[in-house]
Structure 1
Amino acid sequence: MANNTSVKLKILYIMDILLEKTDEENYITVNDIITELKRHNISAERKSVYSDIELLKFYGLDIICEKGRSNKYFIASRDFELAELKLLVDSVQSSKFITHKKSNELIKKLEKLTSSSQAKELDRHVIVRDRVKTSNERIFYNVDRLHRAIHENKQVSFKYFDYDLNKKIEFRRNGNRYTLSPYALTWSNEHYYLISYYERYNDISNFRVDRMMDINILEKDRYLIEGYEEFNVAEYSRKIFNMYIGELETVQLEFHNSLINVVIDKFGQDIIIRKQSDDSFKIKVEVEISNTFLGWLFMFGNKVKIISPQKLKDNMKKTVKEVINLY
């Protein structure tokens, strides 16, 4: 390597060495840095290394020096703390919509944001995770393309699939494309969903992003429903269950006191809660009535009761009878 080039690169290599080799518990001396530089075919004197370290501190790198017979240096703070990286790694590894391959790629990138020693802690942190994940490698590109279509105010078209009993992809509508106006992406029940306007139904429709294939952004502008500017994705998502759309109703429900956390988790802390009896409370909430909503109520057995409307109570009775008849 030419001497002039080596001089220019030296400070960058020193920065890399400090970032990779040091943290609050791992230090490095100037002699160590000189040894590491030799591995890159760069020779350096102690004085020049001291000078480069001071320049890196002036640049903004949080380098701490512990004075002693041989000064020790380490990076004291970074863009991400180790606890924050563990949180991000945990989120990546536990997300069903991210494939195993993409999870590993992302985690390797996150590991580069800390020292090699602390990166090993991230490795150990990941090992405990072994859960079902999507096999659809396209989902990252699907998300990116849908966000771009929304940003550019364009319609999209795509193919939509299910799995058959042999776990093979089977396209809906014989492989004919869906064309719609994308409004927003939302996360529900560990899956990404596209909220959109679908002209075929003249209404809002939801689609699983990991079940989409061959997404195209069209030249045609999106169709925006009346009141689109006031459309609130979070509020919309609270009213539906597992993204299954139904008829919007105001529902009164009575819950056992032990389910207070479940209710707040589902409907948020703004939900008005009224005492019904010594061991129960009631709420009034707008939800879209669907089989998934009834299934959600089923989860709690006799600890939840429908107060109104009557047609929902009748629907629940009918569903209960159908389930009983199965056995």
Structure 2
Amino acid sequence: MSTYMVDGKKMMNICILEILRKYTDSEHTMDQKDIIKKLETEYGMKVDRKSVKSNLMNLVDFGYNLECTEIERENKNGEIEILTKDWYYNHEFDDAELRMLIDSILFSKTIPRNQAQELIEKIKGLSNVYFSAKVQHVCNLPGLSHTDNRQTMLNVEMIDDAISEGKKVAFLYNTYGIDKQLHPRKDTKYIVNPYQMVANEGKYYLICNYDKYDNLSNYRIDRMTEIEILDEKVKDKSLVKGMEHGLNLPQHMAEHLYMFSDPAATIVLKVQKGNMGDIVDWFDKNFEVLSPKFVQNNYPDNFNPETDANKAFIRVTCSQNAMFHWAMQYGTSVEVIEPADLRERIRDAVNEMAERYK
């Protein structure tokens, strides 16, 4: 029973609403007799069917998301009356949507562990007891690290306010030391023009600009501390490369894998046709597949019709630093054709690794 007893029946409609929220959905319904039992056991209220039906209809009139089955029948006076049964609360989120929200929290590396657990409990409260039972086994995945920075969620909120108000932000930017703790990269604060926040690989980033430069930079929000909103207005977006006509976020993300901030360059890759799914996963569809004729004319030294029958040449715009790490990750499945300096950098790194592990 509830820790408090409802005085009279003034709050009956609210109590009925809470019972339906907690115990019902489209697969778990309640009739009026079931609601009467719950009112007595949880709120100490003894009521009749007529009162329950009246309050249910009031809740429907008030616009609450209640559903029921209506049945017509003829009473003893020969009149048609409507009976209702199978009442349930139509929750704002279904179980699959709530599970997706929980999974997104579990996979986020920017939410501290304790805050992640608190958020999951709040999300569970958006459904009923049956959903809570389903996710009792939910836990943080082994090896999945969450940030130690408890200011992360506050940072997101403050940056969101700064962007909305068109104000600059200042913050200390930190890196991990050998003691596994965050330490400021420098004693003075970074001052930037904030334009957009994005989530990438389970981490939040701020896309911003320094006044003395005209390009965009990316900073991890979970590495920021002592953030503050300044009174200064942000630089006009038209003065920043890539922002002249507003930020094209999909293009920016494709050009800045791993959120490196070096200028994007045109890169030609030779990839296994069977790996095109990985190309789309990383670059969406922001790349061009070069025709065999174009490849033969422009890259004759890198194309062999016999051995490269299952290969495709693609052209993409991307950070060279990001492409270096990405190409090293995919090994023999990806070959950088140009630019030459990036191709040479990857070749040197591969040779160094081979020498090291002889």
Q: Deviations over 1:267-294 (max 9, x none)?
A: 112532246542100111111211x421
Say which SS state the counterpart of residue 114 (structure 1) adopts: coil
Alignment-derived partner of residue 12 in structure 1 = 14
Whole-angstrom distance in 2 between the partners of 1:241 and 1:71 = 57
| Aligned residue identity for 2:345 | N
Alignment-derived partner of residue 42 in structure 1 = 45
Whole-angstrom distance in 2 between the partners of 1:10 and 1:76 = 16
**1:256-295 to 2 correspondence within 5 Å?**
256-274=272-290, 276=292, 277-290=308-321, 292-295=322-325
Counterpart check, 1:254 vs 2:270:
yes
Alignment-derived partner of residue 74 in structure 1 = 87
**Contact 2:106–2:140 (CA under 8 A) maintained in structure 1:** no
The number of equivalent residue pairs is 321
Whole-angstrom distance in 2 between the partners of 1:136 and 1:128 = 17
TM-score (norm 2): 0.81
**Contact 2:287–2:317 (CA under 8 A) maintained in structure 1:** no
Say which SS state the counterpart of residue 285 (structure 2) adopts: coil
Whole-angstrom distance in 2 between the partners of 1:200 and 1:323 = 39
Q: Deviations over 1:157-207 (max 9, x none)?
A: 01111111111221111x311111111111222211111102355532211
Say which SS state the counterpart of residue 196 (structure 1) adopts: strand
Whole-angstrom distance in 2 between the partners of 1:254 and 1:232 = 26
Whole-angstrom distance in 2 between the partners of 1:219 and 1:96 = 31
Counterpart check, 1:61 vs 2:65:
yes
**Contact 1:96–1:133 (CA under 8 A) maintained in structure 2:** yes
Residue 203 of structure 1: which of 215, 225, 230 is its match? 215
Q: Which has the larger radius of gyration?
A: 2
TM-score (norm 1): 0.89
Counterpart check, 1:232 vs 2:262:
no
For structure 1, which runs of at least 5 residues remain unmatched after alignment?
none
**Contact 1:245–1:289 (CA under 8 A) maintained in structure 2:** no
Whole-angstrom distance in 2 between the partners of 1:319 and 1:18 = 62
Whole-angstrom distance in 2 between the partners of 1:72 and 1:189 = 47
Residues 305 and 242 of structure 1: is their aligned pair in 2 closer, same or farther, counting only changes over 3 Å? same
Whole-angstrom distance in 1 between the partners of 2:198 and 2:65 = 37
**1:133-148 to 2 correspondence within 5 Å?**
133-148=146-161
Query: In percent, how many aligned pairs have the same letter?
Result: 26
| Aligned residue identity for 2:313 | K
Whole-angstrom distance in 1 between the partners of 2:46 and 2:184 = 62
Q: Deviations over 1:14-46 (max 9, x none)?
A: 011011112233333433323332332433222
